[in-house]
Amino acid sequence: MSVPRRLDDLGHAELAVLVREYLLGGQLIDRAGMPHVISRFGRDGMAEIAIEEWMGASPIYTRRTQSLLGFEGDTVETIFKGMQFDIGAPPEFMDFRYRVHDDHRGEFWLDHCGALMDVEPMGADYVHAMCHTIEDPTFDATAWATNPRARMRPVHRPPRAPEDRHPHCHWTVEVVEDAEPLPEPGPATLMRATRIAQLPLTRPDPGSVRRASRESLTLAEQNGEEQVAEQLWEDYSGPLDPDLRTERFTAPTLLALAQEVAVQWHLLVISFLRAIERRADVETAVTIGARQFAGVGGVVAGRLRDALDLGAGLDGVAQVLELHPAFQPRSYVDWRVEVADGDRGVGSVRVHLGECEALRERGVESWLTGLAAGTADAALDAIVRGVDPRARCVPGRPAAGDVATWEVVLDEAPAPVSRDVELTRFSTGAAFEFTTTPVVLGRR
């Protein structure tokens, strides 16, 4: 048995693409889950759950990202830097533009809001729910993580009047020194007790950063680009870059960042399912979570296959299962993908879920607890079929130390696209194309 390439086997260009895909995929988590929430709780219930979901997750992961990239502080610039790495604001799809006036004042606007493009066809009431009811408390919760006296206030926002108004919305951010500090959001207080919130940061290894910088400089000099590698960043301690691209960071920093974006995924999912359970019961949360997992898992699998030019077949399936953010970081998820060679390449693929921090969470549901309990196998089918429609996962007998095991098989005929994937494809993010050119896995 061998294993596909892991995150730490990827090169700089590959990791830069992967981080963008992880961020965009995180935005699709809600698009996969909210149709089922609306069906069960209605529009107003959806808004309440979304508020609790984001207020629980975003303050936690905002502070983690600040610490990881070395830009902790209490200024407006610090708030904006955090938003640039937020799964609620993936680059390009949510085209945030930032302007810092001073430490206490700034503004941002969206030249393009993919979330608005998704919701506008649903009508003005849904737009108002997203852009007013949900954003007012959740924006302030995000700002709270940097400065409890920070306030985000709209200059204008949708519903758009006129209907083609640009920018899509415009907000001011101000640190009001004499304002009463906002308390920690209640959902965030609860989420801080989870193992995922307390997971140690995966920081770039200084030695790896230096080696990567030397290698990148050598390659750049060979290509006549002497200045490019010298400008690679190990962190984000410098000034805000309004046009930030993931390529600006070293490969070790991108590796750490990819794992941290995956942490954002888990925080958001657990916060989402906790909000559902509080309004219904565990069974409802588990059922909706499994369908959410299938929807976003399948869409992101297809995007990873295309972004990294992996192709179909068992080899492509194995590589996506290895890199999919739902199974990262490995300090939280014991997820092993093994391949056996056959006469014409990969002959078989087996996947193992072992005892790990994700399965030691107490009092919360997650996608991983669903896999361990056997209630989310359809999500694995959606993921492998996102790579190759002929693929499916067959549960097997767990080996020693495993909680669950699956084998991937290829049927002769492709399976129909699952309803959950179809619902998620309603989002324009499912087919969104970044302006950068995809890379081929293995090309450095």
Residue in this structure with the two tokens 């959902």, named with its chain if needed = 187
Cα–Cα dist 143/188, whole Å: 13
Quick check: helix, strand or coil at residue 363?
Answer: coil
| Residue of 423, 115, 114, 130 lying closest to 288 (CA atoms) | 423
Estimate to the nearest angstrom the gap between the alpha carbon of 423 and the chain centroid.
18
Q: What angle do CA 142, 145, 150 make, to 5 degrees?
A: 75
What is the distance in angstroms between the CA of the first residue and the CA of the last residue of the chain? 26
pLDDT at 210: 54
pLDDT at 322: 98
Cα–Cα dist 333/403, whole Å: 12
Cα–Cα dist 145/150, whole Å: 9
> CB neighbours (10 Å) of residue 192?
14
| Strand boundaries in 262-401, DSSP class E | 335-342, 345-354, 391-396
Residues 6+ apart with CB under 8 A from 283: none
> CB neighbours (10 Å) of residue 102?
10
Contacts 24+ apart (CB under 8 A), 181-185: 181/148, 181/149, 182/140, 182/144, 182/148, 182/149, 183/148, 184/59, 184/144, 185/55, 185/56, 185/59, 185/137, 185/141, 185/144
pLDDT at 147: 98
pLDDT at 438: 46
265 has which bridge partners? none
pLDDT at 216: 54
pLDDT at 347: 78
pLDDT at 443: 34
Q: Is the dihedral of CA 295, 298, 303, 308 positive or negative?
A: positive
Amino acid letter, 423: L
Cα–Cα dist 355/334, whole Å: 7
Cα–Cα dist 267/367, whole Å: 11
Give the pLDDT of the chain (444 residues) as one tens digit per residue: 567 999 999 999 999 999 999 999 999 999 999 999 999 999 999 999 999 999 999 999 999 999 999 999 999 999 999 999 999 999 999 999 999 999 999 999 999 999 999 999 999 999 999 999 999 999 999 999 999 999 999 999 999 999 999 999 999 999 999 999 999 999 999 999 999 999 999 988 766 655 555 555 555 454 444 445 458 999 999 999 999 999 999 999 999 999 999 999 999 999 999 999 999 999 999 999 999 999 999 999 999 999 999 999 999 999 999 999 999 999 999 999 999 876 555 678 999 999 999 999 999 999 999 999 999 999 999 999 999 999 999 999 998 889 999 999 999 999 999 999 999 999 999 999 998 654 444 332
Q: Is the dihedral of CA 281, 194, 31, 167 positive or negative?
A: positive
Q: At what angle do helices 12-69 and 251-279 cross, to 10 degrees?
A: 70
DSSP H helices, 85-151, are: 114-119, 124-128, 135-144
Considering only CA atoms, give the Rg of the chain.
Answer: 21
DSSP H helices, 102-225, are: 114-119, 124-128, 135-144, 186-191, 195-198, 206-222
Cα–Cα dist 194/111, whole Å: 36
Contact 418, 293 (CB under 8 A): no
| Residue of 81, 336, 410 lying closest to 233 (CA atoms) | 81
